[in-house]
Structure 1
Amino acid sequence: MKKIVSLLILMIIILAACGSAEGNTSKNRTVTIAIQDSELYETIVEHVKKKVEDEGIDLEIVYMSDWNIFNQALANAEIDLNFYQTRQFLQNANETNGWNLVPIADTYFNNQGYFSSKYKTLEELPEGATVIIPSDPVNNGHALHVLQQGGLIKLKEGVGFQGSQSDIIENKKGLNLVEVDFNMIPNMIEDSDLSYLATRTIIQAGFVLEDALILGDYHEEFIMVLAAREDNKDEEVIQIIAEAFESEDTKNITIEKHPIEIVWH
């Protein structure tokens, strides 16, 4: 009888060990995340990478530069996550391409506004001034909204953040609005009278927030999100990474290193 009891105990121990091993295996995997090559993104993702290592997760960072590739790669399951866009940008990408990508963690709001190397106030801005704004639809609409907020233009009622230049119904100073790639704007500061900058491009152009002639308001639609697919968003490893993104220590280290660029949600 003692032998039978001992055998049962041994079997229970073995089964428990197997269950534990299976639990660890579920987390012991590599998860790929695509980000832009930026100190701000790296601050967050490198911190999260170290944080989830204790959970047996290897967060592999993939760098991309073309904004059009990030979501396509995620939709095609070539990567597991991406971190580079606002909630509004993701929504627009889904609507435009028929994707089913989902935000699974909220992080920070981009400080953004209009800056000038030539003028200190909006009143100094001359008639027909050249104003540089982003060309992509989401940032373009946001930039026009902020320009309206500063009282320099008026948009059709109801366009919100979805406006384009065709929606401008009043341009008080006859501003010449020039659309360029968002990432190129810091290189064009000297050739413009006023330029729209956000987060890292503010620093690239050599400004601080106090230099802004117009500083944009906080909006939930423009919080930066961690994105996954509908088919992987509920996986345990994905949820662990999402929690790490939203953790208090991730927030604190990011605010400490990038106070000019962001406001945490």
Structure 2
Amino acid sequence: MSENDNSPENDDLGLPEKPKKKWRGVLLGLAALVVIAVVAVVVVQGRSTDTAADRTKVRIGVTDASKPYWKTYKELAAAQGIDLETVNFSDYHQANPALSQKQIDVNLFQHLLFLANYNASNEDTLTPIASTYVVPLSLYSQKHPAVAGIPQGGSVAIPNDPTNQARALLVLQQAGLIKLKDGGTVLSTPAEIDTAASKVSVTPVDAAQTVASLPSVDAAIINNNFALDAKLDPTKALFGDDPNSPSAAPYINVFVVRAEDRDNPTYRELVEIYRDERVSGQAQADSKGTSVLVDRPQAELEGILADLAKTVRTPK
């Protein structure tokens, strides 16, 4: 074999050429795909973060969280970027302290007189931002089909919390069952009943127990929510006050927030969502048509609250 046996012509042994450039192209392609995938993940994660940042969580205190309209309300709020959480209170008296202590952000369960009484008693400044409705306070009986059937000396149960108690006494006076000294006020108590001029006696009980008291009394004044929960037919009530009357102003139900949040745009948006027919219509239907929607300006509500608070604080 000559020394030329190692010449290039002898390198061609039928083997394929080393594909260096081809593999380099494949590797570059794979690297590009990896970069694209990483970028896509970053973009998606960034978009998710941005979306989460755009959402607002609001905790609202209520006393009827099981009602169907709350589900609708939450869905409509969620579509506007507000995650609404209902916090239910079985005791009316806990929802305002929870708001004051920032356990919740807003509440919707009370009328203006209830709020005025709370603020005055606790030196607090919770404030209304919007009105919702007025519901009647009605008289029910399992023993008598009409007010006239309630006998002389009969007994009537009424709620014992200060605001609803006074309103119940005014309802009984309108029904001709009792007479209050000096005509009564939004702060009247059973001590102001003119017994000699009254047809019945009253027994104050916890508002939640007024329904349970029906078998043992001639009649009972029952808050609308408790009456509906007990499946009482509001059309069968013996008597009720007029939600459309000017005297009903203290009993306008309101959205309530801490004073520093009175102009919070998210809470104002929640008010507008509540007024959507899909929510307010369901709430109206849930009340069996008894509630009357009210739209009062915030300044007017604050004025009513201030007047009521002054009344509450004024010694008798």
TM-score band, normalised by shorter chain: 0.7 to 0.9
Which of 194, 199, 207 is the aligned partner of 1:182?
A: 207
Q: Is the aligned partner of 1:130 residue 2:159?
A: no
Name the amino acid aligned to 2:167. H
Q: Is the aligned partner of 1:151 residue 2:180?
A: no
Could you tell me which runs of 5 or more consecutive residues in structure 2 were left unpaired when the two chains were aligned.
Answer: 1-47, 295-316
Name the amino acid aligned to 1:113. S
**Higher relative CO (CA 8 A, sep ≥ 6), structure 1 or 2?**
1
Distance 2:80 2:230 in 1: 40
Q: Equivalent residue for 2:92? A: 67
Does 129-138 or 44-53 show the bigger shift?
44-53
1:204-256 deviation per Cα after TM superposition (whole angstroms, max 9, x unaligned) = 44432332222211112212211111112212211111222233432222223
CA RMSD of aligned residues (A): 2.4
Which of 167, 173, 188 is the aligned partner of 1:163?
A: 188
- TM-score computed with the length of structure 1 as normaliser: 0.83
Q: Which has the higher strand share?
A: 1
Q: Equivalent residue for 1:4? A: none
Contact preservation (8 Å) 2:138, 2:224: no
Which of 41, 50, 56 is the aligned partner of 1:29?
A: 56
Name the amino acid aligned to 1:187. A
Cα drift, residue 63 of structure 1? 1.5
Q: Equivalent residue for 1:240? A: 269
Name the amino acid aligned to 1:64. F
Contact preservation (8 Å) 1:208, 1:260: no
Distance 1:66 1:171 in 2: 35
- TM-score computed with the length of structure 2 as normaliser: 0.70
Q: Which has the higher helix share?
A: 2
Residue 26 and residue 88 in structure 1: after superposition, are their counterparts in 2 closer, same or farther (change >3 A)? Answer: farther
Distance 1:207 1:37 in 2: 17
Q: Equivalent residue for 1:262? A: 291
Contact preservation (8 Å) 1:144, 1:164: yes
Could you tell me which runs of 5 or more consecutive residues in structure 1 were left unpaired when the two chains were aligned.
Answer: 1-20
State the identity as a percent.
28
- Rg larger for: 2
Distance 2:185 2:155 in 1: 23
Q: Equivalent residue for 2:217? A: 192
Cα drift, residue 169 of structure 1? 2.6
Q: Is the aligned partner of 1:252 residue 2:281?
A: yes
Alignment of 1:5-154 (within 5 A): 28-37=55-64, 39=66, 42-154=67-179
Contact preservation (8 Å) 1:36, 1:64: yes
Q: Is the aligned partner of 1:211 residue 2:236?
A: yes
1:40-74 deviation per Cα after TM superposition (whole angstroms, max 9, x unaligned) = xx334332221111221111111222222110011
1:63-91 deviation per Cα after TM superposition (whole angstroms, max 9, x unaligned) = 22222211001111111011111111111
Name the amino acid aligned to 1:76. Q
Q: Is the aligned partner of 1:223 residue 2:248?
A: no
Cα drift, residue 156 of structure 1? 2.7
SS at match of 2:263: coil
Distance 2:102 2:83 in 1: 17
The count of corresponding residues between Structure 1 and Structure 2 is 243
Q: Equivalent residue for 1:13? A: none
Residue 67 and residue 198 in structure 1: after superposition, are their counterparts in 2 closer, same or farther (change >3 A)? Answer: closer
Contact preservation (8 Å) 2:151, 2:199: no
